[in-house]
Amino acid sequence: MGQGAVLVVDITKAFTKTKPHKYINDEFHKLHKVTYGRAFEYHSVELMTARVSASASTTRNNLQPMAQQQNLKRSKIQKREIRLPNSTKNCNVNVYRRETLSAGKVIRGPAIIEEGQSTTVVPENTKLTVSPQGGLVIDILDTKKLSKKLETDLNNPIHLEILWNQLISAVDEAAASLLRSAFSTVVRESYDFSCVVTDEQGNALVQATDSIPSFIGTLPDTVKHFIRRFPSETLFPGDILITNDPHMGTGHLLIFPFVDQFSMVQKL
C-alpha cells in the first residue's frame, strides 16, 4: 500500500509449498490486513528485497571480547562535587576513568565513571561491578531506600529530557505510518507533510523530525480552529477531524490537515 511502501513478510515456509508464489502473495495480503485494517487482493504484489539470515555454531568464549584482567595504566582517582538525581544537596564523589577499570572491579556509589562517549552515574545505595566482558553492572543494595520522588517531575532535567524524547518518538512513529500508507509521491518522496502533537488548547508541543516547517506553523492554528468548532468534551474515541479550509487551515485547498485526540491518565 502506498508509493514505495513495503511490508516485510516471512517467506521461509514458502519453499515447502507446492505453489510458493501463491503462498507469498497470500501471506502479504494477510499481513497487509493486520497492519492497515484492509487488503487489496486485486492488486499485484511486487517483491522488492529478499533478506537471508544465516547462523553457525560458535564457542561460548568467542561470543564477547574479554575485559582486561588488570589495569593497563594507573590513574589517580579524582574527587568532584556533584548533585545526585533526586537530591537537593551537593556531595563529593570519586571519579574513575573507565579504561582503568579491570574485570571484577567493584565500586560502591555514589561515584562517577567517565569515558570518551558517555558518563555513568552510580547513585547511592548501589554497587557497580565490571563484568568479565567489560560491562558495567549496577546492583541496587536496598530497595527500601529507593527514592519515592515521582519520575514525572518536570523540574528534573533528566526526567524532562526522557519525556521529551518519548514524545518525539511517538510523533515520529505517526510520521512513519503516514509515509508507509501514502499514495502521493509528494508525501512519500518529497516528505511534504508534518506531524505535530499539541496540548488541549492547540499549542504545539512536539513535531516529527521530518516535518515541513510551513506546516508546523499552520497546524496548531488549524487545531485551535477545530477546538473552537468541536470542543474536546464533545468528541469520542475514534473521532477524526479533517478540513481543507484555506482560511482556517494551511492556506490552500490541496492540503488536508486531520486531527485525532488522545488523553493522558495524569496531567503534566
Per residue in 179-193, pLDDT (tens digit) is 877 777 778 777 888
pLDDT for 2: 44
Give the confidence band of 48 by pLDDT, cuts at 50, 70, 90: confident
Query: Beta strands 111-114 and 90-97: pairing type?
Result: parallel
148 pLDDT higher than 80: no
Query: The pTM is what?
Result: 0.52
DSSP-assigned letter for residue 156: S
Least confident of 36-45, 124-133, 189-198, 256-265: 256-265
pLDDT for 45: 83
Q: What cell does 267 get? A: 496531567
CB 249 within 8 A of CB 242: no
| Percentage of the chain exceeding pLDDT 70 | 78
The domain locations on the chain are 1-52, 78-145, 157-260
Query: Beta strands 106-108 and 258-260: pairing type?
Result: unpaired
106 pLDDT higher than 50: yes
Give the confidence band of 119 by pLDDT, cuts at 50, 70, 90: very high
CB 129 within 8 A of CB 101: no
175 pLDDT higher than 50: yes
Report the distance separating Cα 208 and Cα 204, nearest Å. 11
Beta bridge partners of 206: 197
Contacts of 184 (CB under 8 A, 6+ apart): 3
CB 268 within 8 A of CB 200: no
Average pLDDT over residues 2-13: 72
229 pLDDT higher than 50: yes
1 pLDDT higher than 80: no
Instruction: Work out the end-to-end distance of the chain between its first and last CA atoms, rounded to an integer number of angstroms.
Output: 38
Average pLDDT over residues 60-65: 63
Give the confidence band of 73 by pLDDT, cuts at 50, 70, 90: low
Q: What cell does 70 get? A: 588488570
Q: What is the mean pLDDT of the chain?
A: 79
Query: Dihedral angle at the C-alpha atoms of 7, 12, 18, 19, nearest 10 degrees?
Result: 10
Give the confidence band of 53 by pLDDT, cuts at 50, 70, 90: confident
* Amino acid at position 124, single letter: E
Beta bridge partners of 28: none
Q: What cell does 247 get? A: 482560511
Least confident of 48-57, 60-69, 79-88: 60-69
Query: Beta strands 204-207 and 196-198: pairing type?
Result: antiparallel
127 pLDDT higher than 60: yes
Average pLDDT over residues 46-59: 80
Query: Can you tell me whether residue 139 is helix, strand or coil?
Result: strand
